[in-house]
Chain A
Amino acid sequence: MSRVLRILTDRYGVFRTWPSFVRVAAWAFVWTLVISAVLAPSLPRYTDRAHSPDDPPSNVRYVGPISRSDFAGFLPPEHDDDSFTVAWIGGSEVKLNTVSVPGAVENRIDTVGGRPLLIDSYNVIAPRLIDMLRAVDTAIDHDADAIVMALNPAWVHSEWSMRDWTNLDVSNAGLLFERPATASWGALLTSPADVAWRISRALIPLVEVQSRLNERADDESDRLDLVETPDTPAPADTGDPRLPTDPSTFWITQAYGPERVEDDDVRVRTLMEGIGPGREEARFFIDAIVDRLDDADVPVFMYTTIFDPDSLADPAFDAAARDVEAFWASVAADVDDPLIEIEPRSMSRDFDSAGLFIDHVHMNNAQPFGEVLVERLCAQWTRTNPNWSCT
């Protein structure tokens, strides 16, 4: 016993007697409780992730996680029965910098069925299907009145949906075990760390808000940073071109050679075409998403992310886009729930979208597309419930 104390005393200097040990343990426990009880609830329940304000301004609430490893996942506010709440799920094609597709819709609709429109944007950069599933679950659990999903052409229809699963986080892991169909993937991809974090997240509020606390801690610790960094940041990847650290780029390079990643058009097209095992895993998760939406009993509008017409003018890119559209058409063909509407065709083929894009899928102006979507969404909502007219 005395040797134990000696070890502790040598190492920490404060555990000189057993009472001192108990005292330190008690204080540590008390402080943990105080911090958990006082600090954690003082943080907002929905994410305070920094994002560029929409231009033109909108009242869309961005409820996505701070990062893909944010234990809190999506944190929408409590449902407001007096509002018509739409959960808008998507990635950078939905909101990038100041351009916001849900913002463009929100600007055009005041009320639905007499209730003010409220849009919660479940936004993650490059979401995989597992993120979409998690977002769908959260939206339904928070009683969303309607759901809109943007279907990214690169990430959610091929084996790329599995690749570089850095966003498999604690909340995703739980989802996998809740469905027999995905339980085997849960067993393979859920680490003991995920389980531990998930349990401690449920028990200790401090853990749930850890990502946001980390951000604050980073801000504070940055005050110590004496190193001056240049105003113009270094290029993102200054490494050896033979070893791109981004897995997508790495595996494309290995499969097709470096020329496939030198031209961005070709790179994106290759991402859309996919390499490797195929689309079985993607279909696996899509079926789980559709099953969940089936049970939700709310109108769901899923649309293939729209493409820049300039990109579609390239026959090779157009072929890849049509392949994506065909995939979603096949999914749509199997869906018989009248509340779920899937638009597999890129809607930019059907309205004047020239000059709206900064690249293949990202826009510099979402307003014209917002107009198209308002028409489609309001039609669907009114079909679902004749009283849900838009104003």
Chain B
Amino acid sequence: MIPVFDSFDYFASLFPLLLVLVPLLLVVRSGGVRVALITFAGVYLLALIAPRLALFHLVFWLVVAALQPIVAATGERRSGLPVLAAALGVTLLPVVLWKVWPIEFVVEFNVVTHDLVAWPSTWLEALDYTAPILAPIGLSFGAFRAADVLVRSHLGLIDRLRPGRVLATGLFPPLLVVGPIASYDETEKTLSAPVPLERERLLSGTSQILNGLFKVFVIAYLLDWSVEIFAFYADNAPWRLWVGLIAFTWFFYVNFAGYSDMAIGAGTLLGADLRPNFDRPYQQTTPAAFWNSWHISLTRFLRINVYTPLVAGHPERQYAGTTITMLLIALWHGVSWATLVFGLYHAAFLVGHRVVSQRRPPSTSPMLRVAKAAGIFAWFGASLPLLHLPLDGAVEFYRAMLGVAA
């Protein structure tokens, strides 16, 4: 069983730290000091979870900092593409290993990083022993953010950066645990100079944090019982599974969106311009609109870095591009037959809907809009067992929902 970490433990320390960090960043003008402050805050917050986790992220971003100037310098040369590919390979390797061999990776992650932390002194060893056994929290988000930095550097959108700047980008505190997968440009401004905290920014950041807290601690809290349907589906009548799955579909959204709101709100207070990660996905009326409003930072990352390069100038590849993109979104959640089916299921709907909608003009009927939104909700909710159960378990779950359980 992969250990579970309560993300709020991280935010519970981040929020009070903002009381110190926000004023400091408003007065400190030196870019070097700003970068050092942000990096230190990120490492400190991770070390509070576990020193070994802080060391892991620090080493990871040091590697990215070493690769970035090379990728930026070779961007326009013939060797640029192989260099980028190699750099992306190095950057994405840990997350791939984790997704493919989750148990082995988590064991080795804890043992190796603990040994490294313990190496200088028994005192550090004892300190690290106080921490729980952990998955490499934040790695999925961090790896894609690192890939974004490297790709942009290759394209000439980012100049050669000093190592400290890459570290501060990577270890920007609000983004470390639950994302979103923010691009370099979203945090760039605050690394260089103070960003005035006008009333609008203050209210926007604060209200977004409150919004996130409300989602997580009121709505998600009332729905968190629904998680149990995946453990006890065999013991429940079909109607309980239907109601439970509907509740879980809301829980899944509200919990994730709530933490995204907290991260974005905290980032706003620190001077970053983080884009929204969710935009009322259950009010959307088409599969494409849904994916453009669900975990937007991941969808945007894959659209820019996978879909567009595949499809640009080749419209005949759009369905293949969609399928590959959806498979990557699915596999980002874990490598299994169930997530593979999850990706294919959504790709099929996206492609199918695009084919059908090209033949029919969209309806403007309000009733139909409501029906379509309900349909999108049901379509997405129906796929969630595939993210939370192995494939045979998911099949059993669906059979139990239909009352035909073995």
Contact = CB atoms under 8 A, between A and B. Distances in A.
A311 to B, nearest CB: 26
Contact of B9 (A193, A239, A251): A193
A243 B1 contact: yes
A229 B235 contact: yes
A168 B131 CA distance: 11
B226 A227 contact: yes
B130 A163 contact: yes
A57 interface: no
Interface stretch (B10-18, B27-35, B153-161, B289-297): B10-18
Contacts of B103: 240, 242-243
Contact of A254 (B111, B132, B199, B244): B111
B289 to A, nearest CB: 19
A196 B15 CA distance: 9
Contacts of B236: 227-228
A11 B122 CA distance: 51
A102 B16 CA distance: 41
Contact of A159 (B3, B17, B129): B129
A192 B17 contact: yes
A12 interface: yes
B244 A226 contact: yes
Contacts of B225: 221-222, 224-227
B125 to A, nearest CB: 5
A254 B132 CA distance: 14
Nearest to A5: B203
Contacts, number: 129
A230 B119 CA distance: 47
Contacts of A162: 126-127, 129-130
Nearest to A196: B16
Given A226-B240, A226-B243, A243-B106, A11 B126 contact: no
Nearest to B3: A245
A221 B126 contact: no
Contacts of A250: 110, 133
Interface string B207-251: 110010000000001110110110110011100100110010000
Interface residues of A, number: 51
A358 interface: no
B122 A278 contact: yes
Contacts of A276: 122, 125-126, 129
Most buried by A among B130, B228, B235: B130
A343 interface: no
A345 B342 CA distance: 61
A263 interface: no
Nearest to B203: A4
A264 interface: no
B200 interface: yes
B40 to A, nearest CB: 13
Most buried by A among B13, B16, B126, B131: B126
A234 B229 CA distance: 14
A11 B236 CA distance: 38
Contacts of A197: 12
Interface string A239-269: 1101111110011001000000000000000
A188 B127 contact: yes
B246 to A, nearest CB: 10
A277 B17 contact: no
A225 B251 CA distance: 13
A11 B107 contact: no
Interface string A173-201: 00000000000000011011101110000
A192 B130 contact: no
A8 interface: yes
Nearest to B8: A193
B128 to A, nearest CB: 10
B396 to A, nearest CB: 16
B104 interface: yes
Nearest to A160: B129
Contacts of A251: 129
B389 to A, nearest CB: 14
Contacts of B81: none
A166 interface: yes
A243 B107 contact: yes
A165 interface: yes
A85 B209 CA distance: 47
Contact of B235 (A8, A192, A225, A230): A230
Contacts of A189: 127, 130
30 contacts: A4-B200, A12-B207, A163-B130, A165-B131, A168-B130, A189-B130, A191-B12, A192-B15, A193-B9, A217-B221, A224-B222, A226-B225, A226-B243, A227-B225, A227-B232, A227-B240, A228-B237, A239-B1, A242-B107, A243-B1, A243-B3, A243-B106, A243-B133, A244-B133, A245-B1, A247-B129, A250-B110, A254-B111, A277-B123, A278-B122
Interface of B: 1-3, 9, 12-17, 48, 103-104, 106-107, 110-111, 122-123, 125-127, 129-133, 199-200, 203-204, 207-208, 211, 221-223, 225-226, 228-229, 231-232, 235-237, 240, 243-244, 247
Nearest first, the 10 closest Cβ-Cβ pairs linking A and B are A239-B1, A193-B12, A277-B122, A165-B130, A225-B225, A192-B16, A196-B16, A193-B13, A227-B228, A191-B13
